[in-house]
Amino acid sequence: MSVLEKPEAVRGRGLSGGPVAVRGRGLSLRVRPRPLAVALLLTLLAAGTGALALTRDGLVPPAEVLGALFGAGSEQAAFVVLELRLPRVALGLTVGAALGAAGALFQQLSRNPLGSPDIVGFNSGAATGALLVLLHGDPAYVAAGAAGGGLATAVIVHLLARRGSFRGNRLILAGIAVGSLLASVNAYLLTRAALDHAQSAQLWLIGSLGSAERHQVMPAVLGLGALLLAALPAVRRLDLLEMGDEAAGGLGVDAARTRVFVLLIAVGLSAVAVSAAGPIVFVALCAPQLARRIGRGTGTGLLPAAAMGALLLAASDLVAITLPTAGPLPVGVVTGALGGVYLAWLLGRGRRR
């Protein structure tokens, strides 16, 4: 029987209280039941939204969808479900989770609700690197270009933000400035590209899941899983920085090293999302705040934010493919509209207060 099944000590106050500590031989875990329950609920909702997208138009009945997923059913149903719809749904869930987790890390790092990769320029940097590969190189290396562009942007923004002592507002301002510059660079690259390349790149810059293919899903899933596993141990140290660098240092937390490590993970999550679907806006901004409101928790809230991001992007893509438009609607258009509505709601709520 495992250590977790027979813990030597269990301390906590359950769903309504603080974290539960589970300790055994050589193992110690701190579990916050309420955020974990919220993350599980949001994950189920996101999975349900994805399942609804597989049967959205009635072309393939739910029974045949299940059969195709488990290796049964007709060849036509298997082709529609496994080749056309499932890659888009799976990639949307993965990209949404990556954006939600990246937004949670950026917001906790900057101590600012506007701290998200699309606001502070990291998505623009990843898009610049990916565009250079799309327009002038081998499309197979788009992920590497996005990671390189995001990392270069992170280095520049971090150097600008850490002059003197690190301040979250300085990180936001530096990111906005660098992001505006890179947006101009991206526009210039489009003007110098061939017409067909520029049209496909422009659609990609809006953010789209329409070209999702099976071979894209597994690398994105593996990248997301590895980065989340790397981020979980750092979240505790990041939350301790709320007390101030000196107080956190007294508890053994290296503030500078923690910030750099978290920044690299957040940039990696952004690169996973951008390389797969383009710089989709507002999901990274809204998902952590909505998850925090539902869970009524404090701290980073990494897993609830990731689950909320998956739900938001899956729901947005379902709206994009069901709206009666003249052509396929990129999911970035829907997330941009939802993000505008969300910000307007926040402004109205603040005015009433």
- pLDDT of 18 above 60: no
In contact, 126 and 146? CB cutoff 8 Å: yes
At 1 the pLDDT is: 37
The residue assigned the tokens 């009635």 is 58
| Type of residue numbered 166 | F
Residue 84 in 3-state DSSP?
A: helix
Residue with more model confidence, 20 or 295 = 295
The dihedral built from the CA positions of residue 150, 155, 157 and 158, taken in this order, carries a sign that is: positive
Q: How far apart are CA 293 and CA 285, in angstroms?
A: 13
- pLDDT of 318 above 70: yes
Residue with more model confidence, 311 or 271 = 311
Chain mean pLDDT for the chain: 80
**17: Cβ contacts below 8 Å, ≥ 6 apart:** none
Which range of 130-139, 180-189, 201-210, 338-347 scores highest in mean pLDDT? It is 180-189
Main-chain dihedrals φ then ψ at residue 118, nearest 5 degrees:
-80, -25
What value does the mean pLDDT take over residues 82-108? Answer: 92
What percent of the chain is predicted at pLDDT more than 70?
Answer: 86
- pLDDT of 226 above 60: yes
For the whole model, what pTM was predicted? 0.84
Residue with more model confidence, 75 or 152 = 152
Find, among 310, 227, 301, the residue nearest to 264 by Cα.
227
In contact, 24 and 10? CB cutoff 8 Å: no
At 15 the pLDDT is: 43
Residue with more model confidence, 69 or 321 = 321
- pLDDT of 351 above 50: yes
Residue with more model confidence, 81 or 32 = 81
What value does the mean pLDDT take over residues 304-316? Answer: 94
At 4 the pLDDT is: 38
Per residue in 37-94, pLDDT (tens digit) is: 888 999 999 999 998 888 877 677 777 788 788 777 677 878 888 888 899 999 999 9
Confidence band (pLDDT; 50, 70, 90) for 322?
A: confident
The region that residue 60 occupies, defined by phi over 0 for left and psi between -120 and 50 for alpha, beta otherwise, is beta
At 58 the pLDDT is: 64
User: Please, which residues bridge with residue 24 across strands?
Assistant: 27
What value does the mean pLDDT take over residues 310-317? Answer: 94
Residue with more model confidence, 98 or 344 = 98
| Type of residue numbered 278 | G
Residue with more model confidence, 165 or 331 = 331
Q: How far apart are CA 248 and CA 183, in angstroms?
A: 37
DSSP letter at 73 equals: S
